[in-house]
Amino acid sequence: MKEITQIEKNDSTEEKIKQAAREVFTQKGYAATRTRDIAEASGYNLALINYYFRSKEKLFDIVMLEHLQTFVHGILGIVDDPATTLQTKIKILVTHYIDMLIKNPDLPLFILSEIKQDPSMLISKVGVGKMQHKELYIVKQWNEMVAITKKPSINPAHMIMNVVGLTIFPFIGSPLIRNRTGMSVAQFNVLMEERKTLIPIWINAIINIE
Amino acid sequence: MKEITQIEKNDSTEEKIKQAAREVFTQKGYAATRTRDIAEASGYNLALINYYFRSKEKLFDIVMLEHLQTFVHGILGIVDDPATTLQTKIKILVTHYIDMLIKNPDLPLFILSEIKQDPSMLISKVGVGKMQHKELYIVKQWNEMVAITKKPSINPAHMIMNVVGLTIFPFIGSPLIRNRTGMSVAQFNVLMEERKTLIPIWINAIINIE
DNA sequence: AAATTATTTAATCAAACGATTAAATAATTT
DNA sequence: AAATTATTTAATCGTTTGATTAAATAATTT
């Protein structure tokens, strides 16, 4: 029987291995990661990794599941809140994601790379079938807005790609951007902080084109 | 001595192997690609790949170099053209890239993933040190514009990230987007065609915020 | 057509890799 | 403290993988 006997749960060997695995997997991807890399990064022996997690793939699944949860964590509460306007929702969303991405800059490239390798993983390994078409409040608000402003309505998919692209892309392109401009991570993060207020303004401008 | 004795250069064994390598490397990335995958995809034996290209890495370098050339091909002529306006340049650039990306949808994720693995590759394996600070005509035009419109000037890096992000991100997120929306590649490409005209309009709206 | 060169393949090597084993050490229970 | 269980490690196994070799076949030259 496994019980929490230690003061901190993250002090446990299992947790430290998982932490090391998270770092190595996220940086190098599944294929480029060797189980020995995780062993070295964790400070433990190779066999111990398999003792705790049975296989490289099982350990990867845990890491990937946690990452996906990190990614969608909290957004349902934001987009389905009847108390906030559409503009406020966008502002909160962008701020929320930029904060998260500054802490986890290589999450998007990792997730999108691995999903591309095996898109079925989304349903098989992770249960991302929920939250589907629950008629979120943000959708209601979007429809109301396009009803009022009688402009030629563009596909909502465009606006989703715009918000997500403006927010996430800089982090995906960060290695290239910083290499070309000679920017430091700190300088880059300053720009990202700026984008917290800029992106909602830009999205607003895009929506309100005369 | 090697001469072009065949009618078509792409009929040569060497070219067919390179073609197969391009497909496999681009789809799966360097680490996940086995030389045997390339052999199978090309229809030739494993040893033949090494006979022509010495090693997996050498073959990869060739593929990567060609991809990077594809990516920057033609853009210098667009951004350094004194005959076109800033707005026209953006329109031509976006159209040019969307056309290219519809033909090579997994180029961005491939390039950005591999660059992240080894950013030094840009200078070591490929000579991407040129075209640096030649005072391109588009930069001159940008400076003129911010001089005329006396708005609080935002960092130009933001606008570059915006144009590139709006254009390229949908292709990077395509596997996830299509999985979530149930969109086909054809339907997705229709949206991308729409973005050829939409993105320049959106960028214009962002620039001309009152 | 004989000789030479280029192309193609089956078989194999050595290193890397994921995973297992058996044994040692530490912690917990009796 | 003895017995039992949990944790940790060195050594090793069987595949996979990148790469090579030697020999066969095809093409080209003399």
Task: Name the packing angle between helices B156-181 and A107-117 (round to 10°).
Answer: 30
Residue B159 lies in a domain: yes
Lowest-confidence pick of A24-38, A58-72, B113-127: B113-127
Q: What is the mean pLDDT of residues A127-150?
A: 81
Q: Are residues A111 and A137 in the same domain?
A: yes
Q: What is the mean pLDDT of residues B59-82?
A: 94
Q: Are residues A99 and A150 in the same domain?
A: yes
Residue B4 lies in a domain: no
pLDDT surpassing 50 at residue A72: yes
Q: Are residues B186 and B89 in the same domain?
A: yes
Eight-state DSSP code of residue A80: T
Residue B192 is part of a domain; what is its CATH number? 1.10.357
Number of domains chain B contains: 2
Q: Are residues A132 and A87 in the same domain?
A: yes
Residue B138 lies in a domain: yes
What's the confidence (pLDDT) of residue A153? Answer: 78
Residues of B in contact with A122 (CB under 8 A): 176, 179
Hey, are the CB atoms on B169 and A172 less than 8 Å from each other?
yes
Q: Are residues B53 and B91 in the same domain?
A: no
What's the confidence (pLDDT) of residue A12? Answer: 83
Q: What is the mean pLDDT of residues A50-57?
A: 94
Residue-wise burial string across A119-147, b where 16 or more C-beta atoms lie within 10 A, e elsewhere: eebbeebeebeeeeeeebbbeebbeeeee
Q: What is the mean pLDDT of residues A137-142?
A: 94
pLDDT surpassing 80 at residue B128: no
pTM for the full model? Answer: 0.93
Q: What is the mean pLDDT of chain A?
A: 90
Question: What pLDDT band is residue B133 in, cutting at 50, 70 and 90?
Answer: low
Q: Are residues A108 and A191 in the same domain?
A: yes
Nearest to B111 by CA among B66, B67, B70: B67
Q: What is the mean pLDDT of chain B?
A: 90
What's the confidence (pLDDT) of residue B124? Answer: 79
Token pair belonging to A200 = 């909602």
Q: Are residues A157 and A105 in the same domain?
A: yes
Within 148-177 of A, beta carbons closer than 8 Å to B belong to 154-155, 157-158, 161-162, 164-166, 168-170, 172-173, 175-177
E strand segments, chain B: none
Question: For residue B169, what are the CA distances in angstroms to A48, A87, B14?
Answer: 40, 22, 34
Q: Residue B130: give the domain boundaries.
A: 74-207
Residue A69 lies in a domain: no
Residue A149 burial class via C-beta count within 10 angstroms: exposed 0-12, middle 13-18, buried 19 and up? exposed
Nearest to B170 by CA among A161, A171, A117: A161
Q: Are residues A102 and A42 in the same domain?
A: no
Q: What's the N-to-C CA distance of chain B in angstroms? A: 66
